[in-house]
Amino acid sequence: MLAQFLIHPPIQLGPIGPELVLTGTAIVVLLGAAFNPRIGHSTLLLVSLLGLAGAALVSIGLWDWGGELTVLAGMVATDRFAVVARLILLGIAAMGLVYGYHYFRRSGEARAEFYPLVLFATAGMTLIAAAADLILVFLALEILSLSLYVLTGISARLSSVEGSMKYFLLGAFSSAFFLYGVAMAYGATGSTRLSAIAHALAGQTGSLGLALAAVAFLGIGFGFKVAAVPFHMWTPDVYQGAPTPVTAFMAAGTKVAAFAALIRVLETSFQPLTLDWTPLVWTIAAVTVVAGSLIAIAQTDIKRMLAYSSIAHAGFVLIALTAAGQDGISAALFYLLAYALMVLGAFGVVMLVSARGEGRTSLASYAGLYRRSRLLAGLLTLFLLSLAGIPPTAGFIAKVNVFRAAVAAGHWPLVLVGVLASVVAAFFYIRVMVLMYMQEPQDDAEPDRSPWPRVAVAVPAVLTLLFGVFPGIVLGVLDKAAILRW
Amino acid sequence: MLSEYLPIAVLATLAVLFGVASLGVSALLRPNRPTRAKLAPYECGIEPARLPAGERFPVKFYVVAMLFIIFDIETIFLFPWAVGFRQLGLFGLAEMAVFIALVFVAYVYVWKSGGLDWREPAPRRAAAAPPTALEPEAREVVRAG
Amino acid sequence: MAPDQIVFWVFAPVSVGSAVAMLFQRNAIHAALFLIVNFFTLAVFYLVLGAPFLFAVQIIVYAGAIMVLFLFVIMLLGVDREESLVERLRGQRPLAIVLGLGLAAEIFVTARASLGLARGPANFDETVNVGGNAQALSHVLFRDYFLPFEVTSILLIVAAIAAMVLAQRRERTTVEAAGEAEV
């Protein structure tokens, strides 16, 4: 009896290598800035970016992992899905760091803690993408949420602190639901390992009622993180109140990470219950795309508009999830990649148009943007076209893939709802374009003309076009990654 | 099983009884002649002072409380670890060392970035004056500290 | 009646009573004191259910640390502060009551329906708590769940950063505000 306690689980640190590199870099940056308060923020940025690059290299090294399916006592999955999700997240973090460095330097609110917080949040995000145990999913979710609550309130502006408070209160509430769901899953099956839950449910040894309740409660927790209706109430206030680079990082990163975890939980643990949860996802997807698109029309602030648009986009990813299996996962992954690119780009342009701090985010400030900066107007047009799903952008291919997967699974009424919502959504994206090109400028405020941030914003623009014209270059990789191994 | 906790229950009961009894007995026996000084709460000999309505405590107290919780939670993990230490062996020792080292990072960070410094003037609690007679400068100090 | 049942029936009314009393207190300090009572009764329930580790956690973390934090926050905000109890959103309260009752009913029905299907061991105490609760817990926590355990330390680091970032900044702004007031 005692002898078995002496045996410890085999320790293979390779599959959590990216997280080790990220947290290590975060600690170095944190302590470096604490010991030397006068350290240049460009140094902190450089070290952080090196950490992200290192984590990306380690992730790529995991693509051909030949070892076990899960390591570290079944906690971490080693599949290619985790690799791809990590790479997307690391790219998002790099963009967020570059934006943040520029933004806080101009607004005079620079704080050294920004860099380690983003790195810790990223470590939480990448960990959640690979977590193969509900407890680990919960902890990773908490790490990323806690970091984001603070990042939201890192500026001294009242709206920033208010957004942080709202995000924290509602986020803590949703975490409680998630944890209750974990407890129910354990109660139903006697384990928190995703694979063990799946085996118990497939073998019908678990309690079905509790398992369904677990799906519902976990769904509430995830629904909050991905901002699906009716758990979206926090999104507009938080996206508007947070400093723009944080909004960009949060909008792209949280969505990708939470969806990666949601996909893994639904497609492994509760895969035996697919017929039970599909109607649930179906309904939430329909409500989310419709509500997100309709409420966005009434917005007069571009950050709020983009927030509602991000709610609608969560709905489109959910449509992909109704098509269970490789097709659905691949479509969802491509959608998340395209969404991350366009939302990073769009918020990047918002940051540059505001020039300093949060001065000009009302839609009126975009009147006649074309006269003031052709480049920014052009970039924003591209991102808005992609958000609306108009060719030749990545957003178009993403929507087509999602709809195709859903139709193949027989959910054509949902696709119809999605198409109609896209048409409605196109209206408010095009309205911004009309403002930019066809109206006279209302003020002669200069947008930010610093060269490097423009280069940074151009990166997602180039990729949006590239993946829109030649989607094949990533679709092959995503298809290979869309198989969850457990 | 619960019988193991009987001594604790007995002790708790005795403590409550002692408290109630001493208050009750003294209420019955003592002469009742209250003065202002006698009714004031005991604060180690310092004359008690209230912050004026609407004033707040410095947020440093909150940081300290928060840090207390963080290290309290660390301690909680030490409890089952200590109980199972012999069976966990070297692996247990290593994992607890890593855990403590990581939490120590938090401590070093807080220490180095001045979270534990109390050098700024602590709120002068207007030692002699009654609360309503706080001078304007003292109010400013309370707010700034 | 078994001793654990007697303990339960002694502490259950105290638990519910203190919870209700906490809700109806106007003074935040009094509410916090009732909460402490409630925490202690919960700790006793954990003991009755065979979870002495949770009992210790409940006393050390909740009745100890969390309560300290509560009291500090109350003092930070000012004890005398009266909160406005007027609802900003009309119809929110009845809606919340209806939905809350719905959720409670749902959980009740689910739990009830699953009880018949549950295949868990009836003698939970003997099968799970082999060698004592804290020992059993240490074997699970430090062997099967050692990665989540280490990850917790990262969460604690982030919590420390959070406290510093949010508190230090606000302090600076209040100092500035005081400076402006003097000018």
Q: Is A215 in contact with A195 (CB distance < 8 Å)?
A: no
Residue B127 has pLDDT above 50, yes or no: no
In whole angstroms, what is the distance from residue A224 CA to residue A259 CA? 11
Which residues, other chains included, contact C77 with Cβ-Cβ below 8 Å and sequence gap of 6+?
B56
Q: In whole angstroms, how far apart are CA B104 and each of A117, B97, B100, C119?
A: 17, 10, 6, 43
Q: How many Å from the N-terminal Cα to the C-terminal Cα in chain C?
A: 73
Tokens of A472: 């094949």
Query: How far is Cα of residue A195 from the mean position of the Cα atoms in its chain?
Result: 25
Question: Which structural domain range is residue A61 located in?
Answer: 14-481
Answer whether C14 touches B (CB < 8 Å).
no
Which residues, other chains included, contact A90 with Cβ-Cβ below 8 Å and sequence gap of 6+?
A18, A52, A55, A56, A59, A122, A126
> Of the segments A220-224, B91-95, C129-133, C136-140, which one has the largest average pLDDT value?
A220-224
Contact C134 B107 (CB under 8 A): no
Answer whether C167 touches B (CB < 8 Å).
yes
Complex ipTM tops 0.90: yes
In whole angstroms, what is the distance from residue C164 CA to residue C155 CA? 14
Residue with tokens 């698109």: A293
| Residue whose C-alpha is closest to residue A308's, from A414, A237, A224, A243 | A237
Question: Domain C1-81 adopts which CATH fold?
Answer: Four Helix Bundle (Hemerythrin (Met), subunit A) (1.20.120)
Residue with tokens 């007679």: B133
Contact C110 A213 (CB under 8 A): yes
Phi/psi of residue A391, nearest 5 degrees: -65, 155
- C-chain residues near A116 (CB < 8 A): 161
Q: Is A215 in contact with A272 (CB distance < 8 Å)?
A: no
Residue type, B45: G
**pLDDT at position B120:** 59
Render each residue's pLDDT in chain A as its tens digit; 486 residues: 444 445 667 788 888 999 999 999 999 999 999 999 888 999 999 999 999 999 999 999 999 888 888 888 889 999 999 999 999 999 999 999 999 999 999 888 888 999 999 999 999 999 999 999 999 999 999 999 999 999 999 988 889 999 999 999 999 999 999 999 999 898 888 889 999 999 988 887 777 888 888 999 999 999 999 999 889 999 999 999 999 999 999 999 999 999 999 999 999 999 989 889 999 999 999 999 999 999 999 999 999 999 999 999 999 999 999 987 889 999 999 999 999 999 999 999 999 998 777 778 888 888 888 888 899 999 999 999 999 999 889 999 999 999 999 999 999 999 999 999 999 999 889 999 999 998 888 777 778 888 888 899 999 999 999 999 999 989 988 988 888 877
With H, G, I as helix, E, B as strand and everything else as coil, classify residue A282: helix
Answer whether C20 touches A (CB < 8 Å).
no
* Best to test chain C binding among B73, B98, B108, B109 (most C CBs inside 10 Å): B73
Contact B112 A35 (CB under 8 A): yes
Question: What pLDDT digit, counting tens, does each position of B19-78 carry?
Answer: 999 999 998 998 888 888 778 777 777 776 666 666 667 778 888 888 888 889 998 999
**Residue count (chain A):** 486
What secondary structure letter does DSSP report for A361?
-
Q: How many Å from the N-terminal Cα to the C-terminal Cα in chain A?
A: 29
Phi/psi of residue A77, nearest 5 degrees: -85, 150
| Residue whose C-alpha is closest to residue C76's, from C171, C169, C180, C175 | C171
Flag whether A8 is in a domain: no
Q: Is A388 in contact with A429 (CB distance < 8 Å)?
A: yes
What does R_g of chain C's alpha carbons equal in angstroms? 22
- B-chain residues near C60 (CB < 8 A): 72, 75-76
Contact A207 C114 (CB under 8 A): yes
What does R_g of chain B's alpha carbons equal in angstroms? 24
Flag whether A473 is in a domain: yes
Contact B140 C182 (CB under 8 A): yes
Structure confidence at residue C169 as a pLDDT band (50, 70, 90): low
| Residue whose C-alpha is closest to residue C146's, from A483, A14, A209, A76 | A76
The closest CB to that of A146, out of C111, C147, C158, belongs to: C158
Portion 201-240 of A in contact with C at CB < 8 A = 205, 207-210, 212-213
With H, G, I as helix, E, B as strand and everything else as coil, classify residue A86: helix
List the single residue in A with minimal CA-CA distance to C172: A156
| Residue whose C-alpha is closest to residue A31's, from A236, C107, A23, B5 | A23
What secondary structure letter does DSSP report for A272?
G
| Residue whose C-alpha is closest to residue A346's, from A305, A298, A318 | A305
Q: Is C157 in contact with C150 (CB distance < 8 Å)?
A: no
Structure confidence at residue C175 as a pLDDT band (50, 70, 90): very low
Flag whether A3 is in a domain: no
**Structural domains counted in chain A:** 1
Contact C80 B54 (CB under 8 A): yes
Tokens of A318: 């959910």
Answer whether B1 touches C (CB < 8 Å).
yes
Phi/psi of residue C122, nearest 5 degrees: -70, -40
The closest CB to that of A209, out of C110, C143, C154, belongs to: C110
Q: Is A150 in contact with C165 (CB distance < 8 Å)?
A: yes
List the single residue in A with minimal CA-CA distance to B113: A34
Chain B residues within 8 angstroms (CB to CB) of chain A: 84, 87-89, 91, 102, 105, 108-109, 112-113
Contact C174 B144 (CB under 8 A): yes
Structure confidence at residue C13 as a pLDDT band (50, 70, 90): very high
